[in-house]
Amino acid sequence: MSTVFITHNDCLSHTTPPGHPEQVARLEHVQQALDAPEFADLLREDAPLGTDSHILLAHPAAHIKRVRDAAPTEGTVSLDPDTHMSAGSLTAALRGVGANIRAVEMVMNGEVNNAFCGIRPPGHHAEQEKPMGFCLFGNVAIAAKHALENCGARRVAIVDFDVHHGNGTQSLLWDESRALFCSSHQMPLYPGTGAATETGAFDNVLNYPLPEGCTTATLQAAYDGEIFPAIEAFNPDLILVSAGFDAHRADPLAGLMWEVEDYIWLTKRICDVADKVCEGRIVSTLEGGYDLDALAASVAAHMLVFMERGG
């Protein structure tokens, strides 16, 4: 039993316009960080391509068609002011879906304890029929549905600690009583959703908005006070993590003040909860994080905890 890192170099072929924060260098920095000697024992897999049948677990066919039709053969096209596609974007996005599918299967089959998908574009803003916020397909919602429909999970909990609210995951799982979606995020901030009053069709959504400048004490109160107890009560068979690292104090797109140590604490506590309720089964997926050094350091710290706990 161990930890797997699933990625694919096709995710480097999703290019965005010059100056765009969701850039190729993000994943390059993550991959370089995980090439360090302390990760020598890390199990690595290339992400397979996700299929339409996987995406259809969470999106209607019209969404797949829209994204496929929008894909350019050269240059970039803009789907909205934030969200762009290049010639390599569709394949990159399908690798992102495939990474999540493979990770869920490996963890649910007991091949590994936990997994991290180092992919881009991210996914948690993509709604049913709307790519947005750098995202094309709802990777984590698809992973949740795959675990529930095809891998024997009775319930799945999601922890979304990206600094932006995971509106897409929330909307894709709004009426899925077997999924508990928990999100901490700065508010007000993009995308404008994520109020504590948004609770899902089955009380299966838990939003915890955080004020600008939020540091360790508030973070720990949010998770230990509300989010982790809710997950323990839900008693899932798998925990999925939307791992955005843009709540880091160095991030240019938000105003929270987390440090690498906070991501270590958070990852350890997620592992504690997973050990308690689901034999340590965790699948984590890269979402945001736009300061390249902070991103690389935070992902490395996240992975070291996974390896320590999954080994």
Partner 1 sequence: MSDKPVDKMSFEEAMAALEAVVGQLERGDVPLEESIKLYERGAELKKRCEAKLKEAEEKVAAITLGEDGQPTGTKPVEGL
Catalytic residue among 125, 185, 248, 302: 125
- In whole angstroms, give the CA distance from residue 237 to residue 151: 10
CB of 83 to partner 1, least distance (A): 9
CB of 37 to partner 1, least distance (A): 36
User: Any catalytic annotation for residue 124?
Assistant: no
Q: Which is nearer to partner 1, 239 or 247 (CB)?
A: 247
CB of 136 to partner 1, least distance (A): 14
Contacts by 38-42 with C-beta closer than 8 Å and gap 24+? 38/304, 39/5, 39/300, 39/303, 39/307, 41/2, 41/307, 41/311, 42/3, 42/4, 42/5, 42/303, 42/307
CB of 25 to partner 1, least distance (A): 16
Q: Which is nearer to partner 1, 50 or 289 (CB)?
A: 289
Helix (H, G, I), strand (E, B) or coil at 127: strand
List the structure tokens of 177.
Answer: 């009583």
CA angle 263-240-125, nearest 5°? Answer: 85
Residue 261 φ then ψ, to 5°: -60, -30
Q: Which is nearer to partner 1, 20 or 269 (CB)?
A: 20
- For the chain, the first-to-last Cα distance in angstroms comes to 6
- In whole angstroms, give the CA distance from residue 66 to residue 271: 38
Residues that bind partner 1 (CB under 8 A): 20-21, 80-82, 125, 133-134, 164, 167, 188-193, 212, 252-255
Q: Which is nearer to partner 1, 15 or 114 (CB)?
A: 15
- Please list the active-site residues: 125
